[in-house]
Amino acid sequence: MTKSKIFLYFCLAFTGGIALSSFVLMPRLFLLGLLIAGLFLISVFWRYKKLTVAGFCLLFLVLGVWRNQQAESKIVYPKEGNVEFVGIVAEEPDIRPNSIKLTVNNTLITVSRYPEYKYGDKLKIKGLLKNPPVFDDFNYKDYLKKDGIVAVMDFPKIILLGSGFGNPPMETLLSFKNKFRATVRTFISPPQEGFLEALVFGEESNIAKEWKDKLNLTGTRHIAAVSGMNITIISSLIFSFILSFGLRKKIAFYLAIGLLFLYILMIGAPASAVRAFIMAAIFLMAENLGRQSSGSRAIFFAAALMLALNPMLLLKDIGFQLSFLAILGIAYLQQFFSYWLKLIPNPKIFPIRAAVSATLSAQVFTFPILIYNFGYVSLISLFANILIVPILAPVTILIFIFGISGIVFSPLGFLLSWPVWFSMSYIIKVIDWFSYLSWATLSIGNLHWSWLIISYFIIGGFIWLHNKRIFIS
């Protein structure tokens, strides 16, 4: 049993403790029993490696349970009623067509579209404080809880007391992001502009509901989010592109990480993007090491680290689940699909086969949880993504060159806006065409949680056979 495998077991035990605590209220006496059992195995059977590892796994299981319980205990819902308080806008405002969402003092506040408020504004707020609602088909309370939001308030009276009370580096990043967005809106019109902002910033507010439905029907909703899947595929293509210049893997790795880090900063470093960056960085590390086992274990470590910081991501954030599964799928299955798709050209500068195999790998791992959560499956998702995903990396790079050029020298931004507009028009056309197919989706309905266990057991069995070289001779 190698050290890396032992470390993997510790990460899995810690994650299992968080999952167990999320489903079942664990009595303290039972946890004490597990703790004593773990210490007993370690102290009495320390000469037997497997039993010692089992003892430490019990300790990490208890640690996971404790961490989740500690995080849950910090969530205290305030008493409902009319209140008045002063606070600072702690996150970038979520601008909707007719309203703005502000996060102030762990409260999500809905205000009118105008006047606009920004990150770091100090506000005096007076209104009706309420607990987040729970709907029949969606637990909005749990959805907000993962972000530490414990109350909501709709259209209160607000007085602006001042600006510039936020974190200075974050204010600088968001200022650049707003200039970038203003440049985009100067040269690109809807619906292309809405899709561009969704692709680059993960913001869907400027995409009409009709187009959001089409994204769902075609299984391409992931392009409208700064997700682990998108970031990982883009990072993989950038990594391959840099290698095409004849640079060593180590240099290509650091350059790709640097470009990704710059990208995350340029879009304002939202929490979801930072998590996606961590996952993608771990994936690139696996590519650099050239060993699937080391890479997959590093991905589990990254997930355990993020769960240690915020245990509620595990069950309450489908974005985290999809990011983790997509990257795990790419780590385990991309080689398999690349082998069976060897007839597809894979030029170094524009690696089509790499993009297609990465897309297929990610979709295999994410399909079960998508079907479980949304109750339907897109039958044409594979074909739509094959036509879109290979161009995401070059289009994203082109968009940033266009945006920065538009900020620095407007005429150059105008010239570059044409290929950007054409690229977004192509993506929109593909989505539009596939969405009109009558057999685009298959409704499944509500599924029992056992569906997930069976599905991932089958996928795991397939990977085991693949690693035995049964499918690749």
Q: Quick one: tokens of 443?
A: 């409704």
Average pLDDT, rounded, for the chain: 83
CA distances, 417 to each of 273, 399, 430, 453 (Å): 25, 8, 20, 47
Pairwise pLDDT comparison (466 vs 129), residue with the higher score: 129
The total number of residues written for the chain in this structure = 473
Q: What is the mean pLDDT of residues 62-86?
A: 90
Angstrom distance (rounded) from CA 56 to CA 42: 7
The pLDDT of residue 433 is 92
Which string of DSSP letters, residue by residue, matches 448-464? Answer: -THHHHHHHHHHHHHHH
> In the sheet where 94-95 sits, what is the strand order?
94-95, 99-104, 107-112, 151-154
Whether pLDDT at 328 is above 90 = no
The pTM of this model reads: 0.80
Pairing between strand 122-129 and 157-162? antiparallel
Across 35-39, 193-197, 332-336, 438-442, least confident range: 438-442
Q: Quick one: tokens of 57?
A: 């796994």
Q: What is the mean pLDDT of residues 49-78?
A: 90
Pairwise pLDDT comparison (350 vs 183), residue with the higher score: 183
Angstrom distance (rounded) from CA 291 to CA 281: 15
What residues contact 339, with CB distance under 8 A and at least 6 apart? 472
Angstrom distance (rounded) from CA 147 to CA 126: 23
Whether pLDDT at 470 is above 70 = no
What residues contact 287, with CB distance under 8 A and at least 6 apart? 236, 239, 249, 253, 295
Angstrom distance (rounded) from CA 296 to CA 328: 7
Residue 50 — very low, low, confident or very high, per pLDDT cuts 50/70/90? confident
- The upper half-sphere exposure of residue 156, i.e. CA atoms within 13 Å in the direction of its Cβ, equals 26
What residues contact 351, with CB distance under 8 A and at least 6 apart? 237, 240, 241, 390
The pLDDT of residue 336 is 85
Name the residue among 93, 133, 121 with its Cα closest to residue 109.
93
Q: What is the dihedral of CA 218, 428, 321, 327, to 10 degrees?
A: 100
The pLDDT of residue 122 is 94
Q: Are 164 and 120 in contact (CB under 8 A)?
A: yes
Pairwise pLDDT comparison (223 vs 157), residue with the higher score: 157
Across 8-17, 174-183, 196-205, 268-277, least confident range: 268-277
Share of the chain above pLDDT 70, in %: 92
Pairwise pLDDT comparison (267 vs 50), residue with the higher score: 50
The pLDDT of residue 15 is 93
Name the residue among 369, 306, 321, 314 with its Cα closest to residue 21.
314
Q: What is the mean pLDDT of residues 427-439?
A: 88
In degrees, rounded to 5, the angle at the alpha carbon of residue 195 between the alpha carbons of residues 231 and 439 is 90
Q: Are 331 and 283 in contact (CB under 8 A)?
A: yes
The string of pLDDT tens digits covering residues 282-313 is 777 766 665 555 667 778 888 898 899 889 88
The pLDDT of residue 65 is 93
Residue 161 — very low, low, confident or very high, per pLDDT cuts 50/70/90? very high
Angstrom distance (rounded) from CA 319 to CA 332: 20
What residues contact 217, with CB distance under 8 A and at least 6 apart? 378, 434, 435, 440, 441
Whether pLDDT at 16 is above 50 = yes
Pairwise pLDDT comparison (340 vs 111), residue with the higher score: 111
- The upper half-sphere exposure of residue 328, i.e. CA atoms within 13 Å in the direction of its Cβ, equals 19
Name the residue among 300, 269, 308 with its Cα closest to residue 282.
300
The string of pLDDT tens digits covering residues 89-122 is 988 888 877 889 999 988 999 999 888 898 999 9
Q: Are 299 and 331 in contact (CB under 8 A)?
A: yes
The pLDDT of residue 473 is 44
At 398, phi and psi to the nearest 5?
-60, -40
At 130, phi and psi to the nearest 5?
-135, 155
β-sheet bridge partners, residue 122: 88, 162
Across 145-149, 251-255, 456-460, least confident range: 251-255
User: Which domains are present in the chain?
Assistant: 3-74 (no CATH), 81-162 (2.40.50.140), 192-467 (no CATH)
Residue 120, sorted as left (phi over 0), alpha (psi -120 to 50) or beta, turns out to be: left
Q: Are 199 and 395 in contact (CB under 8 A)?
A: yes
Whether pLDDT at 4 is above 70 = yes
Angstrom distance (rounded) from CA 425 to CA 403: 17
Residue 128 — very low, low, confident or very high, per pLDDT cuts 50/70/90? very high
